[in-house]
């Protein structure tokens, strides 16, 4: 089963970079600078920020459907990030190098299956989850922090 991983769009985050720190805090965000090569995975570029890069850490509602699984969490967005467009079947390094939580949702936005996997196994685990015809889409989370990472659909 072929799949495609989708990054978040950049547009909702662009105005945040123009805010001063006081206004950004009032909007629930924080400006941070990456101080390690890992630990700052951008949800727009689906790449880890380089040391010294500026990012915004902000709340994002990744599951807005009015169900018991409505959810949100903090996400990092790199300043100037361009949206990633991974090829069908491609798992970006920011996902393949971490432990992941895969959460399969049906067409009513109800979670019906979930699995933990190492990122190196995502190319196997994602198609296996999508092989279940009840699964309409998959959300990928970084398992350690529980943060939303990306969405997966059938390609």
Q: pTM above 0.75?
A: yes
Convert the pLDDT of each residue in 19-62 to its tens digit: 999 999 999 999 999 999 989 999 999 999 999 999 999 999 99
Q: Give the C-alpha distances (Å, rounded to integers) separating 28 from 15, 16, 22, 109, 153.
A: 13, 10, 10, 26, 30
Residue 94: which pLDDT band, with cuts at 50, 70 and 90? very high
Q: Where are the beta strands (DSSP E) in 64-105?
A: 71-78, 99-105
Question: What is the predicted pLDDT for the residue at 79?
Answer: 96
C-alpha 14/C-alpha 147 separation (Å) is 21
Question: What is the predicted pLDDT for the residue at 98?
Answer: 97
Residue 1: which pLDDT band, with cuts at 50, 70 and 90? confident
C-alpha 90/C-alpha 78 separation (Å) is 21
Mean local confidence (pLDDT), 129-151: 96
Residue 71: which pLDDT band, with cuts at 50, 70 and 90? very high
Q: Are 46 and 95 in contact (CB under 8 A)?
A: yes
Q: Exposed/middle/buried for 39, CB within 10 Å: 0-12, 13-18, 19+? A: exposed
Question: What is the predicted pLDDT for the residue at 69?
Answer: 97
What SS3 state is found at 63?
strand
Question: What is the predicted pLDDT for the residue at 86?
Answer: 97
Q: Which of 103, 92, 89 is nearest to 141 (CA)?
A: 103
What SS3 state is found at 127?
helix
Q: What is the mean pLDDT of the chain?
A: 97
Mean local confidence (pLDDT), 77-91: 96
pLDDT at 73 over 90: yes
Cβ count near 145 (within 10 Å): 13
What lies within 8 Å, CB to CB, of 11 at 6+ separation is none
pLDDT at 153 over 90: yes
């Amino acid at each position: 089963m072929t799949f495609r991983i989708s990054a978040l769009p950049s547009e909702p985050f662009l105005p945040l970079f123009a805010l001063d720190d006081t206004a950004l805090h009032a909007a629930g965000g924080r400006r941070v600078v990456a101080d390690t090569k890992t630990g700052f995975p951008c949800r727009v570029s689906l790449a880890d920020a380089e040391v010294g890069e500026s990012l915004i850490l902000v709340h994002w509602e990744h599951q807005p459907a009015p169900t018991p699984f409505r959810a949100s969490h903090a996400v990092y967005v790199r300043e100037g990030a361009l949206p990633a467009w991974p090829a069908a079947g491609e798992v970006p390094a920011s996902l393949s190098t971490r432990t992941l939580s895969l959460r399969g949702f049906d067409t009513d936005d109800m979670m019906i299956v979930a699995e933990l996997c190492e990122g190196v196994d995502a190319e196997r685990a994602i198609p296996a989850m999508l092989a279940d015809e009840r699964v309409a889409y998959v959300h990928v989370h970084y398992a350690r922090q529980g943060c939303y990472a990306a969405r997966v659909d059938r390609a």
